[in-house]
A and B are shown apart, each in its own frame.
Chain A
Amino acid sequence: MNFNFILKEMKNQQLYNYILTIADNSLILAQRLGELCGHGPNLETDIALTNISLDLLGQTRSYYQYAAKISGENKTEDDIAFLRIEREYKNCLLVEQPNTHFGYTIARQFLFDVYHLMLMEKLQNSPDETLAAIAKKGIKEVSYHKRFSSDWVKRLGDGTEESKAKMQEAIDDLWRYTDELFFMTEAEKEMTKEGIGINISAFKEKYYEEVSEILKEATLTIPENKYFTKGGKEGVHSEHMGYLLADLQYMQRTYPNMTW
Chain B
Amino acid sequence: MLVENLNIETHLIPVLKTVSDPEIPVLSVLDLGVIREAVEENGIVHIKLTPTYSGCPAMDVIGDDLKKAFSEIGKKAEVELILSPAWSTDWISEEGLQKMEKYGIARPLSESNDKDVLLGDKKLVKCPQCGSTNTHLVSQFGSTACKAIFKCDDCQEPFDYFKCLK
Q: Which residues of A contact B (CB under 8 A)?
A: 43-44, 47-48, 51-52, 54-59, 61-62, 129-130, 132-134, 136-138, 140-141, 144, 147-148
Contact = CB atoms under 8 A, between A and B. Distances in A.
A235 to B, nearest CB: 26
Contact of A47 (B57, B84, B141, B165): B141
Given A48-B141, A133-B84, A56 B166 contact: no
B140 interface: yes
Contact of B53 (A43, A47, A58): A58
Given A58-B53, A137-B54, A141-B54, A147 B140 contact: yes
B53 A141 contact: yes
B13 to A, nearest CB: 26
Chain B binding surface, main DSSP class: loop
Contacts, number: 70
Contacts of A144: 140, 163
B71 interface: no
A111 B22 CA distance: 35
Main secondary structure of the interface of A (DSSP, over half): helix
Contacts of B145: 51, 54-55, 141
A57 B54 CA distance: 8
Contacts of A52: 141
B86 interface: yes
B152 to A, nearest CB: 17
Nearest to A49: B141
B55 interface: yes
B55 A47 contact: no
Interface of B: 51, 53-57, 82-87, 118-119, 138-143, 145, 149, 163, 165-166
B140 A54 contact: no
A129 B140 contact: no
Nearest to B54: A58
Contacts of A148: 140-141
B55 A55 contact: yes
- From B83, B85, B166, residue with most partner A Cβ within 10 Å: B83
A5 B95 CA distance: 54
B84 A57 contact: no
Given A55-B145, A58-B55, A140 B140 contact: no
A54 B84 contact: no
Contacts of B57: 54
The 8 A-B pairs with the shortest beta carbon distances in the complex, nearest first, are A58-B55, A58-B54, A133-B84, A44-B139, A54-B55, A48-B141, A133-B83, A51-B141
